[in-house]
A and B are shown apart, each in its own frame.
Chain A
Amino acid sequence: MTEYIYLAVLFPLIGFLINGLFGRLIKNEKIIGSIGAGMVGLAFIVIAFSFFETLGLPAEKRSRIVEWFTWIQAGGINAAFSYQVDQLSLTMSLIVTGVGFIIHVYSIGYMHGDKGFWRFFAYLNLFIVAMMNLVLADNFVLMFLGWEGVGLCSYLLIGFYYDRKFEKGTVADASKKAFVVNRIGDFGFLVGMFFIFYYFGSLNFSEVLPFVANSGIPSWAFEAIAIFLFIGATGKSAQIPLYVWLPDAMAGPTPVSALIHAATMVTAGIYLVARTSVIFAMAPTAMMIVAVVGLLTAFFAATIGLVQNDIKKVLAYSTVSQLGYMFLALGVGAFSAGIFHVMTHAFFKALLFLGAGSVIHGMHEEQDIRNYGGLKKYMPKTFLTFAIGAVAISGIPPLSGFFSKDEILWMAYANGGVVFWIIGALTALMTAFYMFRLLTLTFEGKERFDHHHVHPHESPAIMTIPLMVLAVLSIIGGFIGLPKVFVGEHGNLFETWLAPVFKDATRKLAGGAMHSHLEEYLLMGASVVGAVAAIMLARHIYLNKPDIATTVANSFKGLYKTLYNKYYVDEFYEKVVLKPIMAVSDTFLYRFTDAKVIDGAVNGTAKIISFASKYARQFQTGITQFYAVVMMIAIVGTIFWIILSF
């Protein structure tokens, strides 16, 4: 099956074409939905077969290239639609098609009755096409096609309700912001590629990555490549300073938030760094930047998440924060831990978003958690699964989030130092706190909604079954990556499976202090105890003493406002970047340089000519002999000029 892996791209593409071209005519939601979800299901089957086939091979034969057709070929560029099938790309593909399929199914229920139903599924399928190209590409250029492609689909899906208002602006503003901010990152990706092509003469992974370690290329060049690629990653994966688009991306339908803005697309930056791990391993400064940016993003996004009142906003900042964790892992050299967290996060964050969608669905589009409360009796299935997601993300064993987060925190301590661990652990506490604030305010306590207008109800089976599947995955997903301290050096199945992909990088990074098992147990225990405490605190406050929250907010008004307004970063960008560029372009470039300087010169010349011709006209006497004399003078003059110039 592996040699036909391009079918995993082709099936969703067919789905996109059918629904995109004929969806308007088909109209029938069942047909459109079945095509949309079915094609992704087929892609999942292709990937699953390839996965098991690959699993049956010895470790050194698991990486293969499947060629499809030529794309851009010119000079040294030979970028084809060719797919790199290996442990890393298969892992990502399984997540994308697996979680993608579940979310497609859920969407059939969620989007029921929407006029743009066909459009929604067409875009969603196109997204899978782009995402599969991103993770399967065997060269940077094709990866970039996927990279921009997912950005485009994200643009289309955020702007799905393009005629609606969103916060201070419109939905269209939010989608454009996402695209443009992503493009800033894409610029970094592009320049990174230029450097790679300059030094390696190729952009194919197989002609670049294996040669990095012994290439003799100056180390500053690796730093440059790594930093530019990382700029790309900060755009797509919403890290400081380019994270600002992700919270606004919540303007899109909720399944989109789950699929694109939580489980898959936003992890593309992590995938990029992991794929090029060997380059990063050669660039210690860049690695440090990755770790620090990841850590700071994780921390600051969590602080913002503490005070948001929109259910999707809390989850959005939580996503930014969790992505920060993944970069922290990569930055300290724990590549497989980063990918492991990509996977578990895909399970529980998709679950949480779909759960939020189920709540919004049952609450007539209300998204403010202050207007929820006591919903568990109306929507028990949603409540139960959402609670599982919350426990998982809070890092409570033995749910999946515990294992992946714990591995990251431990590696941050072991390779980064105690400060990394403390900030990481504090973030974990805040995560547990805001998740249970969200859970408690939504499902427990007093019912704060208007009973006359709002009649909460459980969602249909087509939505709750996906929730249950994801809940099960969130519970058991961590067992394939048990800590080595429990199971020994090769007991972590996930790490052992991915190890060959990262072997060059880990060999380069090998070394560092040894740590005792006792330390690891202690830190693990501390973070679990802390998380439990944070959960209990959140429940205590929001269940029994909601006025404490108000008191705290009031006594730290400045801090609260700063957090609530997300540190005013959007306003800062608007004032310092956007407005000046627009002003300079309009008044200085367009109205002054173009209209006054350049056209002034052009029109001035024209005036001089017409002025001069007023006098020149007097030579037009109409007397033929006069013309003949002038002509003779000119001819003689020209001949002299030619002779003299030789």
Chain B
Amino acid sequence: MENSFILTLLLLLPIVGSLLVLLLPKENHQLTRIAGLAISVVIFIVSMFLYFSFDPANANFQFTQKIEWVKGLGIYYHVGIDGMSILLVLLTTFMTPLALLSTWSSIDVKVKEFTFFMLMLEAGMLGVFLSLDLFLFYIFWEAMLIPMYFIIGIWGGKNRIYASVKFFIYTMAGSLLMLVAIVWLANSGTTFTTDLLELYKQGPTLEPSKQNWLFLAFAISFAIKVPLFPLHTWLPDAHVEAPTAGSVILAGVLLKMGTYGLIRFNLPLFPEGVREYASVISILAVIGIIYGALVAMVQKDMKKLVAYSSVSHLGFVVLGIFGLTVESMQGAIIQMVNHGLSTGALFLLVGYIYERTHTREIADYGGIAKIVPLYATILLIVSLSSIGVPGLNGFVGEFLILVGSFKSPILGSPYYTIIAATGVIFAAVYLLWMYQRVCLETVKNEKMNLLTDLNTREMITLVPFLLFIFWIGIYPSTFLRLSEAFSSNIVSTVMGALAK
């Protein structure tokens, strides 16, 4: 298994694909669009092969490939996949084609460049989830910022420059801290190495005070990406200015990198740091849950509302991670997928209505359920999924996170969970209130009477989301079983290290 080529293939496909797109004639937008979609669909199909040949009982990395890269420095090209990353890889390959398809009518300048950046972005995201070498990981982590920067900066809204610079600086600041920590960590053993599996052995043996510092450096970098309160203010701006597809990928996949990093690096590398900071981070997570929800409640712009709801939802994920029980870890992992699905779909829906009306102000709407019933129905289902109504996907994650973190020995107190659980009330308030003001009551704006309902292309982008919203809601075992072995393994590893 050490030399499986499939993950490298998965990484190369979007890169090669994006270069191919560059060769296409500039004027032929439709051809570029079809090519971009076809490439991303092929990538999705290849990733399905991973799903079918993945062994969920095995907690180790699978399909690994390891090639020495920088001789003497212990830097490797090392990729592999486990029960957590497979879900995020599938999420990435699933969302990219849908995001691309969603832009067919909204992006009509520099289509070629846009498709190029989207595919490069996909390569970057996959690289982040697949890397098993810290150096390699860091390269992808940074590289991924560039296409996102351009996607917001070129195809964004009025304030796009401010938003993209803010996004860039915020995340760069965190990344630099992480880089220093990576170098320090790689240098901490007998020989310099950035091989993650090697470092998994070294990290926990470091002195507690050093673990604490390293933990912090990584955690701050990831917390910005999550985003964890109070490092979240780049998110609403980035979302509001990003084009729809950018928001979908940003919310759907990019935000997961923060929580992914916490699980992949912070927990197993620095268990002492977990002991030291679990409660602080969990407090911030709980504040984020309530804060994000309350601020979402008073937003007048639909996109901002959804952006703040992400702050709230990701707070649940972080709480689940640091609850460090099998239930809460499983909940956190499935909730990453859930948030990608429901928030991705919400951004699509907001984007589609914006294309028609050129306004995202909630107050401009009202009563459109009568005019566009299909749209209203789907918006309701997706909102309910985000609210966490059982039977839909959101509940499964939220419930497991809460029930697990409640009994968490690391947190040692049920209050985190009890306060976090009030978030379920606020989620209902801000989403249903938005739904009411957009879809229900009476039409306030005459122009709304001319709205057209979702077209076939738009439906094609939404139906897959709905499918998984119901699937995970009613039969989550398909997905939970993939990460089960991983979750119990990581929890017992960290708890074991802390027991010593």
Binding site for B on A (CB under 8 A): 69-77, 141, 144-145, 148-149, 152, 155, 159, 162-163, 170-173, 176, 179-180, 183-184, 186-187, 190-191, 193-195, 197-198, 203, 581-582, 584-586, 589-590, 593-594, 598-599, 602, 606, 642
Contact = CB atoms under 8 A, between A and B. Distances in A.
Interface string B122-143: 0000000000000000000000
A191 B416 CA distance: 12
Contact of B428 (A77, A141, A179, A593): A179
Contact of B442 (A144, A155, A163, A187): A163
B477 interface: yes
User: Shortest 4 CB-CB distances between A and B: which pairs?
Assistant: A75-B326, A145-B390, A194-B406, A74-B330
A66 B487 CA distance: 30
A73 B480 contact: yes
Contacts of A152: 384, 389
B297 to A, nearest CB: 6
Contacts of A197: 403, 406-407
Contact of A70 (B230, B327, B477, B487): B477
B419 to A, nearest CB: 10
Contact of B421 (A70, A74, A187, A642): A187
Interface string B84-115: 00000000000000000000000000000000
Given A197-B407, A602-B166, A180 B432 contact: yes
Given A75-B330, A186-B425, 14 more contacts: A71-B474, A72-B399, A74-B326, A75-B327, A77-B403, A149-B389, A149-B390, A155-B432, A163-B442, A191-B418, A197-B407, A586-B298, A589-B295, A594-B295
17 contacts: A72-B400, A72-B480, A73-B480, A74-B330, A74-B331, A74-B400, A74-B487, A75-B325, A159-B440, A179-B432, A180-B432, A187-B424, A191-B421, A197-B407, A589-B291, A594-B233, A606-B169
Most-contacted residue by chain B among A73, A144, A584, A606 (CB, 10 A): A73
B190 to A, nearest CB: 12
Contact of A163 (B291, B298, B441): B441
A76 B404 CA distance: 9
A594 B370 CA distance: 37
B174 interface: no
A195 B417 CA distance: 11
B69 interface: no
B414 A72 contact: no
B402 interface: yes
B77 interface: no
B475 A69 contact: yes
A198 to B, nearest CB: 5
B271 interface: no
B369 interface: yes
Contacts of B389: 148-149, 152
Nearest to B481: A73
Contact of B403 (A149, A187, A193): A193
Contacts of A187: 421-422, 424-425
A585 B327 contact: no
Contacts of A184: 425
B170 A602 contact: yes
A508 to B, nearest CB: 26
User: Contact size class for B?
Assistant: 35 or more
B145 interface: no
Contacts of B439: 162
A483 B330 CA distance: 52
B440 A172 contact: yes
A187 B426 CA distance: 11
A325 to B, nearest CB: 28
Contact of A180 (B327, B403, B428): B428
Given A74-B480, A162-B440, A594-B233, A148 B294 contact: no
Contacts of A642: 187
Contact of B298 (A72, A148, A585): A585
B258 interface: no
B120 interface: no
B461 interface: no
A190 B402 contact: yes
Contacts of A203: 403
Interface in B451-500: 474-477, 480, 484, 487-488
A598 B403 contact: no
Contacts of B291: 589, 593
A71 B424 contact: no
B396 interface: yes
B294 A581 contact: yes
B5 interface: no
Contacts of B428: 179-180, 183
Most-contacted residue by chain B among A75, A141, A581, A589 (CB, 10 A): A75
Given A72-B480, A73-B480, A197-B403, A598 B233 contact: yes
A598 B476 contact: no
B367 A163 contact: yes
Most-contacted residue by chain A among B166, B297, B428, B488 (CB, 10 A): B428
A121 B369 CA distance: 18
A194 B475 contact: no
A137 B158 CA distance: 53
Contacts of A584: 294
A176 B436 contact: yes
A197 B399 CA distance: 12
Given A183-B424, A187-B424, A590 B440 contact: no
A584 B395 CA distance: 28
Nearest to B483: A74
B403 A194 contact: yes
